Structure 1
Amino acid sequence: MSKIFKTPPTKKVEHEQHILEKLDDDILKVNQIRHDFTSNSTHSLDDELKIDSDEADKNWHIASEYYKNIDTKAFRQYELACDRVKSFYEEQHEKQTVAYNLQARINFKTKTRDRMTIWQGLEKLNKLLDESDPDTELSQIDHALQTAEAIRRDGKPRWFQLVGLIHDLGKLLYFFDSKGQWDVVGDTFPVGCKFSKRIIFPESFKKNPDYVNPLYKSKYGIYSKHCGLDKVMLSWGHDEYMYHIAKKNSNLPPEALAMIRYHSFYPWHQELAYTYLMDDHDKEMLKAVKAFNKYDLYSKIDQQYNIEELKPYYLELINEFFPNEIIDF
């Protein structure tokens, strides 16, 4: 253009140049779309699920359209649950005392129950049927993969996908030194303060010795107003156990750790009980837990994935966030 114009281009020419540049950009976009479309049939599963990482990190808390329209009333039907589920909660509510929870935490800090990889732990869970869950009778690794794959399908960040895979890994407690399933699975709740009526089957707490303890039956109990859930002792089980394992051994972000620790704390993240114990940090973590809960609860379907086909992808994911291959459980 410099050979033609000895003076700066007119506004008309500048406008025409702008149009040509925009047209060129549009053509590049069309060609890219055409390339993506024609090569779609040969893409691997990883390519199909790959999205811009910045967008994934930015929008990870936004629910997909599928989970916005799902019939939530079809899940957690405890009033219609079988006797196995009801009996479980009666035992859990009677035995989850302050004294037991203190001892459980001492045991955790002073014992190494086993040493293995994360994947070996997942395979071990195949032998467990969760007696507290009214929504599924599939193996634990099936549920783990269902949850992780649902999160992966929606293009959520890789750390979010890993939470889906390992959120129930703490159920390994059942094979170690648990007293039964009552101190491994089921909804969690604070001990050391008044039991909320928003906990499932609240009447069964009357058999718990802490129910009549003058201190433990008060609203705040051994805690204080807005002390923060980090200072609250939640009923011991797979959530607390895996939270401490992940906190010690992984580089997962705080939101991921909150998802692991609180995903069974339904009285809080679903019924909004115990808000008077929350601090500002908990308000942010609540958003993360609610974002994860949709995948944990509503991914429980009859579909089973081919474990061996998915294994390489998730081994890579595990290695990314757990630097040490062998974990002390």
Structure 2
Amino acid sequence: MHVVDARALDIISDAVDEVNKLKGAKNVPDWGEQSKFDAEKDKAQFRQYEDACERVKNFYREQHEKQTVEYNIRVRQEFKKTVRARMGIWDAMEMLDKLVDDSDPDTSVTQIEHLLQTAEAIRRDGKPEWMQVAGLVHDLGKLLYFFGAEGQWDVVGDTFVVGCKFADKIIYPDTFAGNPDSRDPVYSTEYGVYQPHCGLENVMLSWGHDEYLYHVLKKQSSLPEDALYMIRYHSFYPWHREGAYSHLTNAADERALAAVRAFNPYDLYSKSDDPVNPEKLRPYYETLIAKYFPEVIEW
């Protein structure tokens, strides 16, 4: 019989690191200006999951079946114990270039091209340097694939909350039928182990490249709070695009939501941009990298 006691809740709470605290309303950026680089793009062509190939559909089926509370607690405990590699940002980008993301229906460009396309779109729209850097590094958490991941299912793809009922706004919601948490007497309820409007800092998102990179960079970069929001939540589409989980969010999450929505067009719609030349762009971005990161990062 499944029992959730105070000790179990403490484990979950300990497994989720708190996001940086709000610095005050006076420091909240104005995200009212819309992105410009994508004004002529046909946005209907993106995130067409119903027409996606079997590779994408099979990926999400496996992800939805295996992202359980038990797994998420275990992998966070393991994360805290291990340094997987030591290297700088550009070396990490080049290493990541070997990965083909099985979850992405929108593009076949290399990982380093996607990172540079994202950063360049942000740059063309005149956004601040720190946001360009966020675009440049936002997917580097996919390095998990080379650091002992169990597959792509715990590295890439849209993220969602574990520990409560799986939202019907998640891609392919029917595939959660194979996840044992969907039949758990606690985890299958609306609030699960959480309290109403407890805030995203107090829930556990499915483990993957967003969560991993956030935890790496919040201690090893000088990126501002909003850049960390963009990194942590950019794959949390059920929340920032579909409006799910409003019963768990609080007023503090509004700042994060505004930042992620401002970032999302650059991540998503730059995938159809013209190819980029990494070596030509490298001097500019290495200058920015030096402003926000140490020469060597512990991954």
Q: What is the TM-score with the length of structure 1 in the denominator?
A: 0.81
Give the Cα separation in 2 of the matches to 1:60 and 1:141: 27
Deviation at 1:68, TM superposition (A): 4.8
Alignment map for 1:81-230 (pairs within 5 Å)? 81-230=52-201
2:51 aligned with 1:80: yes
1:243-268 CA-to-partner distances (Å, cap 9, x unmatched) read 11110101111111010000000000
Q: Is the 8 A contact 1:60 1:157 kept in 2?
A: no
Q: Which protein has the larger Cα radius of gyration, Structure 1 or Structure 2?
A: 1
Q: Is the 8 A contact 2:167 2:244 kept in 1?
A: yes
Kindly indicate whether structure 1 or structure 2 has the higher relative contact order, using CA contacts under 8 Å at least 6 residues apart.
2
Give the Cα separation in 2 of the matches to 1:172 and 1:127: 10
1:15-57 CA-to-partner distances (Å, cap 9, x unmatched) read xxxxxxxxxxxxxxxxxxxxxxxxxxxxxxxxxxxxxxxxxx9
1:116-138 CA-to-partner distances (Å, cap 9, x unmatched) read 00110000011000000000011
**Which of residues 286, 292, 299 in structure 2 aligns to 1:315?**
286
Q: 1:141 to 1:178 in 2, by over 3 A?
A: same
Alignment map for 1:15-26 (pairs within 5 Å)? none
Q: 1:303 to 1:310 in 2, by over 3 A?
A: same
Percent of counterpart pairs with the same letter? Answer: 60
Q: Unaligned stretches of 5+ in structure 1?
A: 1-56
RMSD, matched Cα? 1.3
Deviation at 1:67, TM superposition (A): 3.3
Aligned to 1:288: 259
Q: How many residues were matched structurally?
A: 272
Q: Is the 8 A contact 1:131 1:181 kept in 2?
A: yes
Give the Cα separation in 1 of the matches to 2:135 and 2:214: 13
> What is the DSSP-based 3-state SS (H/G/I as helix, E as strand, rest coil) of the residue aligned with 1:161?
helix
1:110-158 CA-to-partner distances (Å, cap 9, x unmatched) read 0000000011000001100000000001110000000000000000000
Q: Is the 8 A contact 1:98 1:191 kept in 2?
A: yes
Give the Cα separation in 1 of the matches to 2:29 and 2:166: 37
Give the Cα separation in 2 of the matches to 1:223 and 1:70: 40
Give the Cα separation in 1 of the matches to 2:266 and 2:32: 12
Q: Is the 8 A contact 2:117 2:273 kept in 1?
A: no
> What is the DSSP-based 3-state SS (H/G/I as helix, E as strand, rest coil) of the residue aligned with 2:168?
coil
Aligned to 2:213: 242
Give the Cα separation in 1 of the matches to 2:35 and 2:257: 18
Give the Cα separation in 1 of the matches to 2:196 and 2:295: 41
Deviation at 1:314, TM superposition (A): 0.7
Deviation at 1:95, TM superposition (A): 0.2
Segment of structure 1 superposing worse, 81-90 or 221-230: 221-230
Aligned to 1:326: 296
2:231 aligned with 1:260: yes
Give the Cα separation in 2 of the matches to 1:175 and 1:228: 32
Give the Cα separation in 1 of the matches to 2:37 and 2:281: 23
Deviation at 1:304, TM superposition (A): 1.6
Q: Is the 8 A contact 2:160 2:236 kept in 1?
A: yes
Aligned to 1:299: 270
Give the Cα separation in 2 of the matches to 1:260 and 1:127: 21
Q: What is the TM-score with the length of structure 2 in the denominator?
A: 0.89
Q: Is the 8 A contact 1:60 1:156 kept in 2?
A: no
Q: Unaligned stretches of 5+ in structure 2?
A: 1-27
Deviation at 1:60, TM superposition (A): 5.5
Q: Is the 8 A contact 2:164 2:192 kept in 1?
A: yes
1:137-182 CA-to-partner distances (Å, cap 9, x unmatched) read 1110000000000000000000000010000000000001100000
> What is the DSSP-based 3-state SS (H/G/I as helix, E as strand, rest coil) of the residue aligned with 1:206?
helix
Deviation at 1:210, TM superposition (A): 0.3
